[in-house]
Structure 1
């Protein structure tokens, strides 16, 4: 069991090390990073479960072979629920901090929260599914959650130093939900032959955009 948990956490750790390495200008206080991660691992998961329960009551989706229902599930029930539960932690805990003093910090804190959420989720899946699930998710779900966090954090980093904070924060949430939904919808429509390949295409696009976002905020933070 210990080895399974470690296999679930290793890709999360690699993402965090990469983001920390990419933070070239001013490293964030370790306490804030740890708290952000823990809030993502605990609070965002609890909030997501509450929202899932609420959606199950007001919007029950019972037909696994309905394209319309699977689209709603991917974008609204899963994508919005999970990204919103991360977003409010970044917005109300990390963004107001004085240490959040450069655009790249939006990426750092959003990824910390996202990886906290992903760590809890990954432990659950891997302990149930074993090493094969750990290997699969190390190259799919974990990078996906990382890219959602980077995209969200890019806009929330802009928001902190903009007069249009509401707009940029909204865009952070919107695009995180959009890419999360795009990734999931191809997986949920697995009853359509070959469509699952779309999930990997959307992930590759998200990774490319994430690299661009990182480069831009490295530049923006240097001149902040």
Structure 2
């Protein structure tokens, strides 16, 4: 029971926080739960994709650094962020509830943390309470921040009046979370002490960056004046 609690609690806390930050027009709970479920479902194709790409790494990379790079960027970041974006796009792109830019962040975090929830349960039940506590302050918030960056750019893409800018923002909805996810995992996987020094500064940077992105879109909400 304690392992299940430590697996679920950080996900639930962050989801409540994101829901709270959506101040001016709340998204339907039922549709948010669909986003969470979508994130949980994509665990299965992600595992298949990661195993497939992982089997190719010995042919693509040599040495500890190369292997860490391959695992971080190609196995983890590429597979996970690509399927998250696909699930998010299929879920909300043409849905009437996606009616302002901040909604992209909300739904992206729910999809991202649906995946993180399943991943967290698997890791914690395999490795114990210590892993659960560590992941509550690292991996789970990291997945939320990857989702915030994805949703930020997807929101810009959806509501951009310029066709070429719309395409660029959509590309960034994948590339930015892919890049920061890859860096996050590479720092942990490369097993070089001086590189590990950058881990917590990088987390703090992401926290400030994602908070700024949420504040920006919240302040520009089309529903802000209507709610007063």
Q: Distance in 1 between matches of 2:138 and 2:29?
A: 28
Instruction: Describe the SS at the equivalent of 2:220.
Output: helix
The answer to whether the Cα contact below 8 Å between 2:61 and 2:70 also exists between their aligned partners in 1 is no
Give the Cα–Cα distance (whole angstroms) in 2 for the partners of residues 82 and 204 of structure 1: 22
- What TM-score, normalized to structure 2? 0.91
How far does residue 196 in structure 1 lie from its aligned partner after superposition?
Answer: 1.7
Partner of 1:50 in structure 2? 48
| 1:4 pairs with 2:31 | no
2:93 is matched with 95
1:118-144 CA-partner distances (Å, limit 9, x unpaired): 000000011111111111001000110
Partner of 2:203: 203
Matches within 5 A, 1:111-130: 111-130=109-128
Using the TM superposition, give the Cα deviation of residue 98 of structure 1 relative to its aligned residue in structure 2, in angstroms: 0.5
| Distance in 2 of aligned mates of 1:3 and 1:168 | 42
Alignment match, 2:17:
18
Unaligned runs of at least 5 residues, structure 2: none
Rate the CA distance shift 1:150–1:20 in 2: closer, same or farther, 3 A.
same
Q: State how far apart, in whole Å, the 1-side matches of 2:65 and 2:80 are.
A: 21
The alignment's C-alpha RMSD in Å is 1.8
Aligned to 1:186: 187
1:65 to partner: Cα distance: 4.9
In the TM superposition, residue 86 of structure 1 has moved relative to its aligned partner by: 0.6
Contact 1:107 1:151 in 2 (8 A): yes
1:15-37 Cα shifts (integer Å, max 9, x gaps): 00110000011111111100110
| Contact 2:24/2:223, CA 8 A, preserved across alignment | no
Q: Distance in 2 between matches of 1:211 and 1:109?
A: 16
Is the Cα–Cα contact under 8 Å of residues 103 and 160 in structure 1 kept in the other structure? yes
Question: Is residue 172 of structure 2 the alignment partner of residue 167 of structure 1?
Answer: no
Q: TM-score, normalised on structure 1? A: 0.93
